[in-house]
Structures are given as C-alpha cells and as structure tokens.
Amino acid sequence: MAEKKSNLYEESLRPLKNAADILNLESDIVEALSSPERALIVSLPVKMDNGRIKVFEGYRVRHNTARGPAKGGIRYHPKVCLDEVKSLAFWMSIKNAVVGIPYGGGKGGITCNPKEMSLGELERLTRGYAAAIARCVGPDQDIPAPDVGTNAQIMGWFLDEYLKISGKYDAGVITSKPLSLGGSRGRNTATGRGVFFATLEAARVFGIPLKGARIAIQGYGNVARPIPVYLHDLGCKIVAVSDSVGGAYNPEGMNPMKLADFKAKTRSVKGFPGSTEMDTADPLTADCDILIPAALENQITEKNADDVKAKLLVEGANGPTTSKADKILYEKGAIVVPDVLANAGGVTVSYFEWVQNRMGYYWSDEEVDEKLKRVMTDAFKDVYQTAKQTQIDTSFAKQPLKVDMRTAAYVTAVRKIVEAMQALGRI
C-alpha cells in the first residue's frame, strides 16, 4: 500500500507535478519520483550533563540516487520531523540535478535544540547519531554536511565516529569539514558566493544595470553576509538589510563592511548609524531593483507579493516564496531566480570538497571560485533557456519568459533524473 503523504511533503512536491505536466510524464513515474528510496528513524539515548538520560529522535532520508550518491545536510532543530527531512531530501535531488553535479538527494536531522545544549552534550548526541546511521552513509552512497543548527565542529565529531566504526580513513564521507580534516577552501562563503553569481547572470540576461542598482536583503546570517560586499564592489547600493531583530534602511546606500562590523558588535543591523529602523520583513517590500530573501521559508506570500517592488528576486533562503506568491510575481512581470538554483553554491563546493578528498589533491581559493562561477553560470543558462522555450500560454503575464524560472528549474532537473532512472532500468 502506498504511503500517505503529509501536507508538508505534498506541498514540497507541487513544483514536481507542474514539471511533470510539462514533460508529459506518466503518473507512475511521478509516483516513483515522489517516493524516497529510504527513510531511517533512529533512537538516540544521550547522557546529559545533569546525569540524566534523554532520548532524541534522529532521521536520515535518501530520496533518489539515480544520478549518484545521496547528498544533503544534517539539521539540529526542535521542529525537525520525518516529513520535513523527506521534503528537504527531495529538494536536494532537484538542486543537485539543476546544477549538474553527480549526486542524488539526501537529508538528515535530529529533533533537538542545540542552543540549549552544552558542547559535551552535542558531541555525545552527534557521535550517537553517527554510529546509528554509519551503515547507511559513505562516500559512495550518502554524504552528509552541515545544515541549520550544525557546523564544521559537528562534522568533525561525526567523521571521527564514522572512521572508528569503518576502520579506514576516508574523509569524503562528509563535507564542510574544517580545513585540517580535508575541508575545501571557499566553503564558508560558497552559498553566498553562488547567490552572487546567480544575481550577476540574471542581471545580465534581463538587462538590469548593476551600477547604481538598489539592493534589499532580508536575512543577514552566514548565507547573506558576504553578498552585499560583493555587490557593493560592483557599484550597487545596499538600501535595506534586516535580521531576526530588525532592519536598517537608507535610500542612499550603506557600507556593507561597516554594516558587518556593526552587526558583530551589536548582534543586529537595527540601529545602524545613518539608517532608518525597519521591521524584519520590511526589505521584502522596500523600493529596490533587486531583492534577496535569505532568511526563512514562506516570507513572500499572497498577502505581500503585490507589494514587492523589485524587478528581480534571487532566493538565498530555502523556500522563501509560496506557490501562490510565485504566481502573483510572475503575472506582474517580476523575475524570481529560485532557491534550487540560486543557493546551490553550498552543495556545489561540498561536491568540490568530496572530489578533492578522493583525489588527495586540494585547490586554491581562486580555483574553487572559478569552478563555482562556471557551474552556477552554466546552470543558470540551462534554466533560462528552458524558461524561454517551454510552450504554454503566457498571454496573461507581463513576462519575457514562457514559464517562471522555478518551473523551468524543476523541468531541467526532473528531465535529468528521469533520464538516469530510465538508463538504469528503474522505471
């Protein structure tokens, strides 16, 4: 009997079904793409600092491995659940196919609050999780990495536990490690750098001059922090930035280096000298040319999409735009570079790390950056051509594209995955 899909997972599959309609895929192929290959649930008893035993629940989902080993991060967060991990693993299959790296999709997570745990508790939890899923991961089958609530140190603990169990040194089992353990140069800024390259290509293709372009950014964490520096160096004006506390607005532009220093000292961009204070969500509807939503999911909805003034949106966050908002933005002529393309720089450099681990030869910062730019630029061109050429009725929209860029990205990815599954005889 087929597994009943939750609303959460079902929502994540909507773009897949749109792409399947365009590609004229049979329903059984869509069902195969909609079902993860493996979903593992593990129980993790951990001795806490107070001497008590607390049991955590962990997950590892492998969505599709037709194009290569599963690849995707490990998330530590109180709201982690199986359906969320399944959705994230599916998105990783799409993202890896969009940028053409030879991976399928995977994801893992533990339901916990890492902010309330000591380093010792986190280490014991991580080692327990690594031991529990060790038989299911490896450089040729499933390669984890950090995600929300995890970092390079946690990857180091995971690697150590895996190496003890496997009995051999193979750094390629996990990526985004410290440099001393075989991590890649350029990984810390890779996601933001990828968003920057996607923005450059989109601005070029859609005729948006970058010199003097007004930039608004929602979210000022690890992904977004380097982006305003890159764009400012090209003559852009950073007019609005926000974080979880609040935001700063200056129509004349703000210096991103000084903004970063202010954030480091005060833990927020709110109150930046010379700026007007704004709420966290205000950059989404600020008067700007380019908007980069890089905070949380579901930030642009049917309630505020009409108020978005940006000509170009480049998604640094995962799922910041709802499907209903997508339709509104498309019909009013705004271009959205979707998350599965725009923020794929992180997994791309993780792939570079895996390649370097397997070769035992490591690249310079310049080599990594050059290769990342090539991957992001080529992927953008593929999706853009699909968006221009797909034949559907667009007479109702003020658009230069036949379909929106998100649908085009899914069409591009699904076509690659289906071709691989057919070549293997799986469908």
Question: Would you give the end-to-end CA distance of the chain in angstroms?
Answer: 19
Residue type, 275: S
Q: Which of 71, 95, 107, 416 does the annotation list as catalytic? A: 107
Contacts of residue 181, defined as CB under 8 A and 6 or more positions apart, other chains included, come to: 155, 156, 159, 171
What is the CA 200 to chain-centroid distance, rounded? Answer: 18
* Residue 113 neighbours by CB distance under 10 Å: 11
Q: Look at residue 239 and give its three-state secondary structure.
A: strand
Structure tokens belonging to residue 336 = 């959205």
Q: Which residue type does 141 have?
A: Q
| Maximum pairwise Cα distance, the chain | 66
CA distances from 168 to 127, 141, 171, 344 (A): 17, 16, 10, 31
The H-or-E segment that residue 376 falls in is helix 365-389
C-alpha separations of 274 from 62, 74, 283, 301, 406 in Å = 49, 40, 17, 31, 37
* Residues 6 or more apart in contact with residue 204 via CB below 8 angstroms: none
Residue with tokens 């299959």: 93
Active site residue 107: yes
- Tell me the catalytic residues: 107
